[in-house]
A = this chain, B = another copy of it.
Amino acid sequence: MILCDIGNSFYHFYQDGKLWKQSVKSVPTLDENEEIYVVSVNEDALARLSKKYYTIDLSDTLCLDSEYVGLGADRAFACYAANDGAVVDAGSAITVDVMQGGLHLGGFILPGLSTVVESYAKISTRLDVGFNMGVNLKELPQNTKDAISYGALVSIIGAIKEASKNKFIYFTGGDGKFLSRFFEDRSAVDDTLIFKGMLKLIERDFVC
């Protein structure tokens, strides 16, 4: 059994504790005898995978307790695994969802860190100065590169703080590890969260 989470940019795979990913622009090479359980927010990439392999789409099988209309399957499965606390999936977009005792309270979406950094360059070439990952957030910046780095980070971290209140935060996605540093006392990085949700549903014979 292989698990696959298809996002905007990558196929994310999981098998027996092993994680790997590859661009949605490429065609994955997998064991053809394995069943591939999939959640996807990217129809084209799912179609390409299903053309070559036997896939079982779990996207619409989960009945998460939520009022949210149009919750992506990836977010739903990560929330289902977390059960309680905030779930932050930091990829090309950053989704922030809040769970309380199995109930999904709602969530919001931020542009991802690289998207924010790239957006400065599009405003003006004067702002195309790169990103300082080590910028000090405790002091106001004194040059353009720090001003942009501080702005990009404070906007993301401030929004996560605002919504998560004092809840525990599960970080996942490409920038999850980096962002978790700013919530050290109450966060964990878990790149298997979506897969844990999928396994939980499979183990429960698809009864939420």
Contacts and interface: CB of A to CB of B under 8 A. Distances in A.
Interface of A: 8, 41-42, 67-70, 72, 92-96, 98, 105-112, 115-116, 119-120, 122-124, 126-127, 139-144, 146-148, 150-152, 154-156, 158-159, 161-163
Contacts of A159: 151, 154-155, 158
B120 A119 contact: no
Contacts of A146: 108
Contacts of A94: 151
Copies of this protein in the assembly total 2
Contacts of A155: 110, 155-156, 158-159
Contacts of A70: 143-144
Contacts of A156: 155
A105 B152 CA distance: 19
A148 to B, nearest CB: 5
Given A8-B124, A126-B41, A143 B112 contact: no
A111 B128 CA distance: 12
23 contacts: A8-B124, A41-B126, A68-B142, A70-B143, A72-B126, A93-B120, A93-B124, A93-B127, A106-B140, A108-B141, A108-B146, A108-B147, A108-B151, A109-B144, A109-B148, A109-B151, A111-B116, A111-B120, A111-B151, A112-B123, A115-B119, A151-B159, A154-B162
B108 A154 contact: yes
Given A68-B143, A143-B69, A123 B127 contact: no
Contact of A123 (B93, B141, B144): B93
Contacts of A154: 108, 158-159, 162-163
Contacts of A41: 124, 126
